[in-house]
Structure 1
Amino acid sequence: VSKEVQTPVINGFVVDMKTDTAVTINFEQSEWISGNSNYIIQLGFDSRFQAAYQGRRVDYPADFEIELTEPGQGEISFPASGFSQPIQSNIIVRNLTEEIDDFQFIFRDENKDAIFNDGDAIFMVVGDSLGKKATSFADVRISWSLTLIKDTTIVEANQRPPQYGDVFKIVTNKPFRNNEFMEFTTIGQRFDKSKAKNDLDKVAVVPNPYVGAASWEPYSTSVGRGERRIYFMHLPNECIIRIYTLSGKLVDTIEHKSTISDGQVGWDLVSKDGMDIAYGVYVYHIDAPGIGEKIGRFAIIK
């Protein structure tokens, strides 16, 4: 579920922002970012411990990295219950969203070997829903869990358990928080002379050839078949188009100015003297000041 917000117009543009309204695991982006273990990772909240942590769950809005270390080199786990003691682990949890390098966690070491492996679970923990550190099990709140499960469909020889140095990233969908900000820069409009010169090759006349009785031309019962017209396409912002007969006689001149590149301009097939042009082949010359020139041909046929 998401909510869209649009800012007021600022310096000629607006920003559309979409924020999530609920905190959930992003399963597509959560993955091993270091290592190639083929064990199954179960994310969310390990149901085996639902009763033990009843009423303590909180969907904490942060992304995490879980790094595995050599035995005994990880952080000390928070007590798993009110009757247990902190235990050694080979786990380091980092809260990426709030830049906390030693985030608290509970290590459910089902194998009792102080190593995160098959059947074990890690729970992120906080002291309250705002992220305060927990000081005792009495005030602890339980968040996301990561459970490691051996894939029994893979033969033993091909099993790849996590190794020291492997890192798993948990990504969450979460609403914007207070004091969060986004920063971006814009690049002002600029003229790329080299690109503009190359773009002259895209200039074209359509239709070419122009068929004098084309069925798609506008038709009017009062004036006949309607206005005859061709179009010069993909023009630079400013240019002068000169149209000549094959013998070099100037037929017409068109001055084109637009606020955008890749523009177009139409020509009604009427000469500068106000006469309908004859059928035949014509040459056009495009002069774009500061950019270059383009010469081409088009045909007018019956």
Structure 2
Amino acid sequence: FTRAEASNTTRVAGRGTGSVQVEVVNSALVPDNHTFELRFRTLFADSIRANVFDLVDLTSDDTLFTNGYDLEGAGSGLVGTGLLPVVSTPNTVSVDSASGFTASSLTNGRLKMAYRNPLPINLKRPGFPEDMTITFSDVPIDTSLRGFGLLRSRPTKFRVTAHTADGDLRMKFYFLDKDNDGTLSLPFPDEFIDVVTYLPNNPIAYETWRVELDTTGQAQRGTLKAPTLGDVYEMKLIYPFENGEVYSFTTTGEFINPAAAQSLAAQEPYVVPNPYVGLASFEAERFAISGRGERRMEFRNLPQNCTIRIFTVRGELVQALHHDGSDFGMVPWDLRSKDNLEIAPGLYLYHVDAGPLGKHIGKFAIIK
């Protein structure tokens, strides 16, 4: 007998980071040779991180469940046809450590970026969340916004571009430039860039990403060469699963392996203890309770989905037991008949019927 299996998942759509695995929790319910999709959704149009997912059987064109809620990898979510998706994804976007100046850039400086939170980090809006490029030059190529205090509108020797699904989007920004050279050449708090975003139909600029020089290790890199023409900084993000993210997988149903079907003969069921003399070592001890207590013997090495019938030597049915597990296992018996009477000492026969796996006949003795 071979249990059902689910294949590794494959991304069909989306850019999110996370783990998607599918566990078989009920082998008997898993269909053979079916293709499934996990489709992630947000409950609100302006949310970034997916809130729920649906499990769809593409082969049968059937939605097995909607609103799967476990995106934390707890393994406690919804189950469909014996399949439990185990999904884990970050709670928010974050800056990827792979961000940095391109290999052809000549500056020896480093930048660091941090999210500014006038708006929730899970709120989608034009230009956010998207990977961005800061392109530097030796002449002015853009103009900063006017803000409060020292944040004046000024020509800048850089521009900021977000890479959206609909194409590149030039981003607006505030720029504090203490030495008035038009580029980042001094550390915070003297100089910084605040990239801004806007809500739909709203003219208010919201600081979204703060960009500043990262002076950590600058002494080892030498005197700062401020970013200029030819220097390009790529900011890459790590995304959670978003609306429209899709993963697919296939299943193989449980089956009887013909070569293994002879295992019943090779691994015969047996009874313990045999003979049963007074008691078994695995019977529960009785504390502060009078009487003999429950008797117990066990039928072991039973194949999947079999029936055990116990007979007297005269052929009278004493009891019928069932093993519904999906692997070789054990079934206990309390030495009572189908009429709930304690059986008498003597010799008994048992018959194990495992269907396509075969049959087995054995005997055991009960000694007073």
TM-score, normalised relative to structure 2: 0.44
Aligned residues: 253
Q: Aligned residue for 2:114?
A: 43
Is 2:205 the partner of 1:140? yes
Q: 1:99 to 1:141 in 2, by over 3 A?
A: same
Q: Aligned residue for 2:15?
A: none
Q: Aligned residue for 1:266?
A: 332
Task: Tell me which moved more, 113-122 or 141-150.
Answer: 113-122
Indicate conservation of the 8 Å contact 1:218/1:227, yes or no. no
Q: 1:122 to 1:11 in 2, by over 3 A?
A: same
Q: 1:122 to 1:84 in 2, by over 3 A?
A: closer
Distance in 2, Cα, partners of 1:115 & 1:299 = 91
Distance in 2, Cα, partners of 1:204 & 1:99 = 66
Q: CA deviation at 1:265?
A: 2.7
Is 2:171 the partner of 1:104? yes
Q: 1:131 to 1:101 in 2, by over 3 A?
A: farther
Q: Aligned residue for 2:161?
A: 92
Is 2:257 the partner of 1:191? no
Distance in 2, Cα, partners of 1:196 & 1:299 = 34
Q: 1:189 to 1:109 in 2, by over 3 A?
A: same
Q: CA deviation at 1:257?
A: 5.5
Is 2:194 the partner of 1:123? yes
Q: Aligned residue for 2:79?
A: none
- SS of the residue aligned with 2:98? strand
Q: Percent identity?
A: 20
Q: 1:131 to 1:270 in 2, by over 3 A?
A: same
Distance in 2, Cα, partners of 1:270 & 1:193 = 33
Q: 1:18 to 1:257 in 2, by over 3 A?
A: closer
Indicate conservation of the 8 Å contact 1:219/1:226, yes or no. no
Indicate conservation of the 8 Å contact 2:173/2:195, yes or no. yes
How big is each residue's C-alpha offset from its partner over 1:100-139, in whole Å with a ceiling of 9 and x where there is no partner?
532513263747365799656443323x42376x6xxxx5
Larger RCO, structure (CA 8 Å, separation 6 or more): 2
Please list every run of 5 or more consecutive structure 2 residues that lacks an aligned counterpart in the other structure. 1-48, 55-61, 72-90, 103-108, 311-316
2:69 to 10, 17, 27: 17
Q: 1:102 to 1:261 in 2, by over 3 A?
A: same
Q: Aligned residue for 1:224?
A: 292
Q: 1:294 to 1:106 in 2, by over 3 A?
A: farther
* CA RMSD after TM alignment: 6.2
How big is each residue's C-alpha offset from its partner over 1:199-231, in whole Å with a ceiling of 9 and x where there is no partner?
989999897898935375264956513222325
Indicate conservation of the 8 Å contact 2:346/2:365, yes or no. no
Q: CA deviation at 1:81?
A: 1.6
- SS of the residue aligned with 1:15? strand
Distance in 1, Cα, partners of 2:196 & 2:210 = 9
- SS of the residue aligned with 1:155? helix
Distance in 1, Cα, partners of 2:216 & 2:53 = 46
Q: 1:261 to 1:155 in 2, by over 3 A?
A: same
Counterpart residue identity of residue 199, structure 2: S
TM-score, normalised relative to structure 1: 0.50
Q: Aligned residue for 2:281?
A: 214
Distance in 1, Cα, partners of 2:99 & 2:361 = 58
Distance in 2, Cα, partners of 1:143 & 1:203 = 69
